[in-house]
Structure 1
Amino acid sequence: MEHSTPTGNGPSGGRELPGHIAAALAGAGGAADSAGQPWAGRSLSGDDATIHNFEDDDGAADAGYLAALAALAAGEGDEAAVVASLATARVFVPIVARLAEEGDAVAGAHGELHGDKQADMALVTLQAPDGRTALPVFTSARSLAAWHPEARPVAVYAARAALSAVAENAELLVLDPGSEATFVVRRPAVWALARQHGWTPSYRDAAVADAVAAAAAGFPALRRVEICPGGGVASAQAGGGQLPGGGAGPELRVVLYLEDGLDAAAVQSLVAGLNDAWARNEIFADRVDSIEIKLQRAAP
């Protein structure tokens, strides 16, 4: 039996943001571009139409990111290396024109009233299959144009894109959606990028394993517990293949080995108690994006 769920610890869940992220958002954040200029009030013409603020940038994908992604596909790398490559990578955030409220009404030549329509620029967000908000970002100007020809690419460092995701209550960054290789950066990694910290996947995190084991110690009917990558770590690619990383989750599988003879009510109570204990553990809450629980009968 399996059960999967997001841990629900993102900004949309009401949890207080880490200090580094809150401070960064106070000074910049998603309302502005990499130069600190606000998105609102921009047009798609004139000086505002420049693609980005990075000099000598040809719009190609970052070589370090491409190398890390290729190593992951070849079985020679891992998700952590892909996310680490983003720490210094330039990405493109798409913004689109959004019709604002009509301006002040003025009298026309025949006495009729007209209001000037205004267009503001807005970040694009997506909804993930589990209902969470995701921010699409693109590693190249070409991949963004193929996804949305009318969107304007604005170049930022991936860390700034992660800050924008937090500001938009987006728990996921989706790199190159609709392309041959789409990679999802899940909430703990988004927060790590925003804080410019390293990231370890929860299924390889010794502190997470300790938190799981500590919670399990309070349930005598639970004989053993193991953690491993969840079924949502891998991601399906456009060409029909599968990348062993970059999936939206669930990322962490918790295998519970139970004593024989438990009825459904006892199992349900045990799982609910574990979920409550994990939710109250700060390390688990910060470092685990989503989990699936698998029940097994313990060997006699």
Structure 2
Amino acid sequence: MASNETGPGVPQQRHLPGHIAAALAGAGGVADSAGQPWAGRSLAGEHAKIHNFEDDDGTASGAYLAAIAALREGTGDEAGVVASLASARVFIPIVAQLAEDAEGALGLSSDKQADMALVTLKAADGRTAMPAFTTTAALAAWHPDARPVAVYAARAALSAVAEGAELLVLDPGSEFTFVVRRPGVWALAQQYGWVPSYEDGELAEEMVRAAAGFPAVRSIDLVPGRGVAARAADGTVVAGGGPGPELQVVLYLEDGLDAAGVQELVAGLQAQWSRNVLFGERVDSIEVKLRRADR
């Protein structure tokens, strides 16, 4: 049987897990992101701080830089980079957006009211992405007119979810851009640990169990998809940080299936997987590769 591939799979629209929806509902409420009430606080006094980043020098988190360096050197992985973001500060770009205009002198249009808006991007596959920057210098180089707002990366991930963004893009336009894909964004927003789908043993068990009803499937391998790798500005390829496809599913099939049979089998498997809650939460995008099973 000759090998065959399906193209990158963009997942169907998914409903937010209840815990993320609850976190979004609570944002901007009577308590801060740590659950501490605003009531009774005072900003007076020598040691009072208006926010957590008053003394921030605008440079990148040391843990993040170390994780990126390890990834680029081949001694680290994507999970390590996302883990380093759990306690890291990032900058979200905010830009002025004309909300209402008015006719001024000589009939010229003039700004009457402007709002500040989050910036979002469109990924190559059409999905919405939110940019975030590890340094003020990187943000200024990318968009000189944007205002940097310092937040913890977990809060940036929650904002991405609120904006309908499935990707969090770190340092676009810089020497190396790292993309946190949807499952990693959700994990950051919930402040949970994240394991890439291609290394997720629990997910593999679920997918193998779903394939048990298809006798032509002899075995399954889960490996990084072609879209996991990223390319740095100097042209070097890095084994992580790409936007996807994230997961490659290698199906080892018995001989004897014609093209129609293969197509029906793959469609049936994908339908089974898409109904699995674990798959929906932990897989960003997939591609399927077909191989002949060894006798």
TM-score norm. by structure 2 comes to 0.87
Preserved CA contact (<8 Å) 1:229 1:251: yes
Q: Separation in 1 of the partners of 2:93 and 2:194?
A: 25
What is the aligned counterpart of 1:3 among 3, 6, 13? 6
The answer for the alignment partner of 2:83 in structure 1 is: 84
Q: Separation in 2 of the partners of 1:287 and 1:293?
A: 17
Label 1:65 to 1:282 Cα distance change in 2 as closer, same or farther (>3 A).
same
Q: Separation in 1 of the partners of 2:116 and 2:262?
A: 51
Q: Separation in 2 of the partners of 1:163 and 1:261?
A: 49
Q: Which runs of 5+ in 1 are unaligned?
A: 36-51
Preserved CA contact (<8 Å) 2:98 2:111: no
Preserved CA contact (<8 Å) 1:7 1:279: no
Label 1:115 to 1:181 Cα distance change in 2 as closer, same or farther (>3 A).
closer
For residue 79 of structure 2, give the secondary structure of its aligned residue in structure 1: helix
Residues 190-249 of structure 1, C-alpha deviations (whole Å, 9 max, x = no match): 000000000000011011101110111111111111111111111011111111111101
Residue 102 (structure 1) shift: 2.7
The answer for the alignment partner of 2:179 in structure 1 is: 184
Q: Which amino acid aligns with 2:200?
A: D
Residues 26-83 of structure 1, C-alpha deviations (whole Å, 9 max, x = no match): 1227xxx989xxxxxxxxxxxxxxxx86111000011110001111111111110100
> Is structure 2 residue 246 aligned with structure 1 residue 251?
yes
Residues 65-113 of structure 1, C-alpha deviations (whole Å, 9 max, x = no match): 000111111111111010000000000000111111236x89x7x9x89
1:17-56, aligned counterparts within 5 Å? Answer: 17-28=16-27, 54-56=53-55
Preserved CA contact (<8 Å) 1:192 1:199: yes
Structure 1 vs Structure 2 CA RMSD: 2.2
Q: Which amino acid aligns with 2:68?
A: L
Count of aligned pairs: 273
Label 1:2 to 1:294 Cα distance change in 2 as closer, same or farther (>3 A).
same
Preserved CA contact (<8 Å) 2:92 2:149: yes
1:3-152, aligned counterparts within 5 Å? Answer: 3-8=6-11, 13=13, 15-28=14-27, 54-102=53-101, 117-152=112-147
Q: Separation in 2 of the partners of 1:279 and 1:190?
A: 20
Q: Separation in 1 of the partners of 2:10 and 2:280?
A: 7
What is the aligned counterpart of 1:242 among 215, 237, 243? 237
Q: Which runs of 5+ in 2 are unaligned?
A: 35-50
> Is structure 2 residue 208 aligned with structure 1 residue 216?
no
Q: Separation in 2 of the partners of 1:57 and 1:17?
A: 33
Seq. identity, %: 68
The answer to which of 114-123 and 148-157 deviates more is 114-123
TM-score norm. by structure 1 comes to 0.86
Q: Separation in 2 of the partners of 1:56 and 1:253?
A: 44
Moved over 4 A (4+): 112-116
